[in-house]
Amino acid sequence: MTGKPKGKAMADSDLIKLYSGRILELAADIPHAVRLEDPQASVRRRSPLCGSTVTVDLSLENGRVAAFGQDVKACALGQAAAAVVGHNIIGRSRAEIDAARDALQAMLKADGPVPPAPFDGFEVLEPARDYKNRHASILLAIEAAAEAAAEAETAANGASYA
């Protein structure tokens, strides 16, 4: 038991722990917060629990993210996660993005370690482990990026065989 009453509002001390200054700084400064005009892939993800949405556009060049844009309509935790993604995604391969997604899921849901560099900035979201209702919003940006990278890779591979 975590000491948090079920079904009741979070205590002020819980809010302070969860919404740290660093999370609020990240939420206020999301990189690549402009949609791309002609992306290879565009993916919109929504959290049914809270209604947060993230739309990710990206293009690959030589199997790595060359262009990235995102439109984030989420809580501060979802915005902070999108900022970590935005700060680190350029130059990453699909495999690196998939690994970051899987590591973030494990960190939140299975007390796994913080995702490795370059996505180690997700460390700031460790306090959210105890708040399962926040996990979906936190995962939106990296899940959308992983899906978009897969779509762009498929499109690029299909185009190269045409």
Question: pLDDT by residue (tens digit) across 118-156?
Answer: 999 999 999 999 999 999 999 999 999 999 999 999 988
Nearest residue to 61 via CA among 149, 138, 124: 149
Distance CA 126, CA 88 (A): 18
Q: How confident is the model at residue 158 (pLDDT cuts 50, 70, 90)?
A: confident
The domain made up of 31-157 has a fold known as Sufe protein. Chain: A (3.90.1010)
Average pLDDT over residues 88-108: 98
Q: How confident is the model at residue 20 (pLDDT cuts 50, 70, 90)?
A: confident
* Domain definitions of the chain by residue range: 31-157
Cα angle: 148, vertex 151, 152; to 5 degrees: 85
pLDDT: which is higher, 2 or 82: 82
Average pLDDT over residues 42-71: 96
Q: Which residues contact 122 (CB under 8 A, 6 or more apart)?
A: 81, 84, 100, 103, 104, 107, 114, 115
Is residue 87 within 8 Å of 121, Cβ to Cβ? yes
The reported pLDDT for the residue numbered 156 is 80
Amino acid identity of 108? L
Distance CA 89, CA 118 (A): 9
Strand boundaries in the chain, DSSP class E: 41-46, 53-61, 64-73
Preceding omega of 118 cis (within 30 degrees of 0): yes
Q: How confident is the model at residue 56 (pLDDT cuts 50, 70, 90)?
A: very high
Distance CA 103, CA 114 (A): 7
